Structure 1
Amino acid sequence: MPLKTHRLLTAALAGVLAAGMGAAPALAGGAPKTGADAVPTPKLGWYKCYGYAECATVQLPLDYDNPRGATTEIAVLRVKAKNQSAKLGSLFVNPGGPGGSATQFALDAPYWLTDPILQRFDVVGVDPRGVGASQNVRCFTSVKEQTEVLNLMNVPFPVTAAEERAYVRGSKLLGKACSTTGKPLTGAASTAEVARDMDVIRRAVGDKKLTYLGFSYGSALGQYYANMFPDRFRALVVDGVLDPTAWVGNTREPLDERLRSSDGAYKALIEILKRCDRAGETKCVFAEGDPVERFDAIAEELKEEPLALPDGEGGTIQVTYAVFIGAILGSLYQFDAGDQVTAIADQVGDALEGRSGAALVKRVRDARASRSYDFPYENSFEATSTVICTDGRHPADAGAWPAYADQRDRKAPYFGRAWGWVDSQCANKTWTVRDEDAYTGPFTRRTAAPVLVVGNFWDPATNYRGAVASSRLLPNSVLLSSNNWGHTAYGSGVCATTSIDSYLLTGKPPARGTVCTDAPQPFVEPLPAPAATTMAAVPGKKRPPIAAPLPDSILIPAKI
């Protein structure tokens, strides 16, 4: 697909973004409109799929103001509870993104959810509008047309003036395409619409109240649901939390200025490098000298000139500054972020100093082995952009983003540019399509049941401050904090995982002020450090396959 070259190399180096009863609010804080309640409960025609799951599709209103009008197809998948006689209901899950497939996430549930949850809940994934197995957003008429635009954005993030000019041009063309060819779905796929869809499907699966576990961008969906349907859930967990007021934002500041994701990533990186220094060379591969200074020297050298290595197949690997920083950001997403970040930095540093680049070459060759073809049409960037651009308010001109990104990079070195370009395609002069029923608040509704808000101190994507802010917005919420590394907390340790599980099973949240401190920490064991391949809380389980809250041009979650 477009964006392939830099996406694959970044992934390889990493080792591996309505108030009331179902109602849509009027704009400018007006009275809510009737919405999801006007839709009759659909009958889901379940059929067996993937060996152990059940699938269905349902036609739901494109516009809930006109429930008998045009429709869009929504895909649903469930993995049934192992103990049907003791079933508590359905657990709706969302992996984030925006643009992550909830049906795939639910299909993977046996590999990352704990057995007590799998015993008592049908796990249900609803693919958001435009995403996955639901009717897809398509902003271009062909792969060729799509490629011509997205190739202008074929870098992890722009660094040089020429890359910035190309990226701005691509951002404008993408915004125009999604505002024309992408309609009508791009104007009817905001998070509020997904919340309404989820409420209708909650009825369709027979649940009187929703039980929900959402990660990353899925935390926005959970908070929207809690505020739009404050008396319709029995338990609702958001993990890796976006501050919804910052998500909606304003036309003066780009998204990262509001969310401060780059601040969280920079804080995590510097803490890792300082801990590496304290641990010493017996426990950290990057401990020679001053790790903070050495990392900066590597970054500056790559900014001046990319590292070129023979790939062993007659070609050359180009490790640019942006690829290196993108790989570091990808590594910060992992529970073993300390080991991954320092391993990548050490391997790149060795290669720059003339020592062996074999480890880097192996990473790239492994990535190339997993390469897919350019066909068929792949819409993840467009789906991600549709939600970001229609949920929030954004500055007018994409041409202003180089200055925005520079400003962010001064405040959060390395990552200000990586995160700063995430919404350039949303500039409101070129992304003109709007969802008139998008929800913009309030996010302060008192809910009938408590909301569990989960944040970890070192999250490089959803800054911990977002969890704190969200817990303060919701009067009936409890903040659970964790000292784990990586993006989101579930699966990182016994405390966070069992606290979330217990709340889902009983509806009783942990005590206010609970801080989990049992997650694995970097540089504790002598080298070679063991790989953190399983979930510490439950042996044999993997970490949840969270969808990164960034467009694919910037970051690919580590899967290799």
Structure 2
Amino acid sequence: MRRQLLLLLALPVLAACTTVMPGRATPGTEIEQRGPAGVVPAGLERFYGQALGWEDCTPYATTGSTKSAFSNKSNIECARVEVPLDYAKPTDRTIKIGLLRQRATSSDQRIGSLLVNPGGPGGSGMAAAASMAKDVGRSDLGARFDFVGFDPRGVGASEPSVRCLTDPERDADRLDLDVDTSPEGIAQTEAENKAYADKCAERNGPEFLENVGTRDVVRDLDVLRSALGDAKLSFIGYSYGTRIGSEYAEAFPANVRALVLDGAVDPTQSEADSLVAQGAGFQKAFTAFSTWCAARKDCALGTDPAQANKAFRDLTLPLIQKPIDVEGRKLSYTDAITGAIQAMYSEQLWSPLNAGLAELRNNRASTLMLLADTYYDRDEQGKYSSITDAFTAIKCVDDPRQTDKAVLADIARKYKEAAPFLDDGNPPAAALDPCAYWPVPPTATPHTPKADGVPPILVVSTTGDPATPYEAGVNLAKALAGGLVTFQGNQHTVYLQGNRCVDTAGTDYLINLKLPPAGTTCS
């Protein structure tokens, strides 16, 4: 399968107080009611004011990696929040949103809840919060806020989650290269993409797929705000999470307290322009990697950065004809490319990538397979999270679909030109992707956000970000009339990842609602 590489009638409610209800729903569950808080839309009162049952997080794990992250941690607790599947029909079917919380360590100085989303779309906010909890808990941020990760609808521990392929089907899909751009190859790819869309419809239902996009995640986020007892939302959104944040600001500007949006998705870009810009971003990151590598005696790409594109292709293109055995599996060309792209997200992965490329020379590929498995969120037992299927399902309703093959071929050509290290040598393809066959229509279009009356928000953008180029953050900050922190580095997102300058600016903003000075730059 070919993939693409990202006005309510409201009732005022008095500020909420916390009530811990007597009794327990099940052993080990604490029933807590903090909502309703702030503004509650008419007809949704039971959702905004619902009690939450907090319990051990272990049963919420859906993969081996989340099982490890959620178990044996006394400082986190989990719950699910009930929301309407379709907000136009709130009395009909409901679904559940998974939450993971680490309580503020200074209860007498507690500001409220701070929700976090790691992006994707399809990334687990619960897993992200669990991985960040220890460091956040030792910080001023953890002292003042309950730190809360949520799995958006269709993702991870939320019920139901989007599932289109079984684990064995996903393994098989990774071996299906779809690099043949002859008419026969295109026809085969399109048949596979249609079959994938059909499986998604059959296994999830059109009604669920229609309501899984960002439009509805934003509505869920407002329910979470109230159920957690906050009159105003404090939120950190990374990557695609910046789209959740900016669309929340549009839909509920009066309900915003503070938003940190790091690694911005440009809300004005078409899907085509976004793909080409991302290709250029990955090429920029690869060029930085190859320059770093060339200074090492063990560089798998040689000592001349100008030859790095060719050297990379020379190592990876043979995998099209002959994948490499890796402990009973096979590393495909697609997996090698995916592993390399995964390494572009952080300089910390450059050494593993160099080691993986060196392995290819000796017909070994365990490191690249591990990098690719990380990208797809496949655990050691061969179980995948919902991220890949959720990514497709969300993108197919978030963005207008493209069915003009001439336009698709032009996009493919521009992408190859923007990212020559990823050029497989075949003519630009014009295959329709799964969204062209999706059973429900899109529910959103790219546009400049308009959030009149929203408080100042803070955007963080990295000069060498491969996935969400720097200018996207500049554009988002301008559109929302917010502040901007520039980070000079080569990675995807940076806040709360150890850079003192960025962390100080973001934390001071979230706690004190004070934007850093204009032109703030960190390195």
TM range (shorter): 0.7 to 0.9
Aligned partner of 2:299 among 263, 279, 285: 285
Does the alignment pair 1:270 with 2:287?
A: yes
Distance 1:397 1:169, change over 3 A: farther
Are the counterparts in 1 of residues 340 and 371 from structure 2 also a CA contact under 8 Å? no
Does the alignment pair 1:185 with 2:208?
A: yes
Distance 1:507 1:299, change over 3 A: same
Are the counterparts in 1 of residues 79 and 100 from structure 2 also a CA contact under 8 Å? yes
Correspondence list, 1:42-441, <5 A: 42-50=49-57, 51-113=74-136, 115-138=139-162, 143=166, 153-155=173-175, 158-161=178-181, 165-179=187-201, 181-246=204-269, 249=270, 253=272, 256-257=275-276, 260-277=277-294, 280-281=295-296, 285=299, 288-300=302-314, 302-304=316-318, 318=331, 320=333, 322-348=334-360, 351=361, 356=362, 360-361=365-366, 371-373=380-382, 379-396=386-403, 401=408, 404-415=411-422, 424-427=433-436, 430-434=437-441, 438=444, 441=447
Deviates more, 1:50-59 or 1:418-427: 418-427
Q: 2-side partners of 1:275 and 1:312: how far apart?
A: 28
Deviation, structure 1 residue 158 = 3.4
Are the counterparts in 1 of residues 319 and 332 from structure 2 also a CA contact under 8 Å? no
Are the counterparts in 1 of residues 55 and 77 from structure 2 also a CA contact under 8 Å? yes
SS at match of 1:108: helix
Deviation, structure 1 residue 496 = 1.2
Q: 1-side partners of 2:119 and 2:429: how far apart?
A: 19
Q: Which amino acid aligns with 2:304?
A: D
What is the Cα-based RMSD across aligned positions, in Å?
A: 3.8
Q: 2-side partners of 1:68 and 1:126: how far apart?
A: 23
Are the counterparts in 2 of residues 101 and 131 from structure 1 also a CA contact under 8 Å? yes
Distance 1:433 1:217, change over 3 A: same
Does the alignment pair 1:487 with 2:499?
A: no
Deviation, structure 1 residue 413 = 1.6
Deviation, structure 1 residue 53 = 2.3
Equivalence for 2:450 = 444
Deviation, structure 1 residue 75 = 2.1
Does the alignment pair 1:459 with 2:454?
A: no
Q: Which amino acid aligns with 2:287?
A: I
SS at match of 1:73: strand
Deviation, structure 1 residue 59 = 2.1
Q: 1-side partners of 2:363 and 2:438: how far apart?
A: 43
SS at match of 1:297: helix
SS at match of 1:479: strand
Q: Percent identity?
A: 27
Deviation, structure 1 residue 442 = 5.0
Deviation, structure 1 residue 82 = 1.1
Q: 2-side partners of 1:357 and 1:498: how far apart?
A: 46
Are the counterparts in 2 of residues 20 and 229 from structure 1 also a CA contact under 8 Å? no
Deviation, structure 1 residue 175 = 2.6
Distance 1:400 1:230, change over 3 A: same
Q: Which amino acid aligns with 1:461?
A: A
Are the counterparts in 1 of residues 399 and 442 from structure 2 also a CA contact under 8 Å? no
SS at match of 1:330: helix
Are the counterparts in 2 of residues 227 and 442 from structure 1 also a CA contact under 8 Å? no
Distance 1:323 1:76, change over 3 A: closer
How many aligned residue pairs are there? 464
1:449-503 CA distance string (max 9 Å, x none)? 111111111111111121111112112x011110122211121521112211111
Q: Which amino acid aligns with 2:305?
A: P
Structure 2: any 5+ residue segments left out of the alignment?
12-38, 58-73
1:11-43 CA distance string (max 9 Å, x none)? xxxxxx479979xxxxxxxxxxx9955411232
Q: 2-side partners of 1:254 and 1:192: how far apart?
A: 22
Q: 2-side partners of 1:309 and 1:138: how far apart?
A: 30
The TM-score, its normalising length taken from structure 2, stands at 0.77
Equivalence for 2:35 = none
Q: 2-side partners of 1:78 and 1:316: how far apart?
A: 37
1:187-246 CA distance string (max 9 Å, x none)? 111112111111112111111111101111111101111111112122100111101122
Deviation, structure 1 residue 440 = 5.6
Q: 2-side partners of 1:123 and 1:423: how far apart?
A: 41
Deviation, structure 1 residue 505 = 1.3
The TM-score, its normalising length taken from structure 1, stands at 0.73
Distance 1:275 1:63, change over 3 A: same
Structure 1: any 5+ residue segments left out of the alignment?
4-16, 23-33, 518-560
Structure number with the bigger relative contact order (C-alpha 8 A, sep ≥ 6) is 1
Deviation, structure 1 residue 263 = 0.8
Q: 2-side partners of 1:472 and 1:329: how far apart?
A: 29
Are the counterparts in 1 of residues 52 and 227 from structure 2 also a CA contact under 8 Å? no
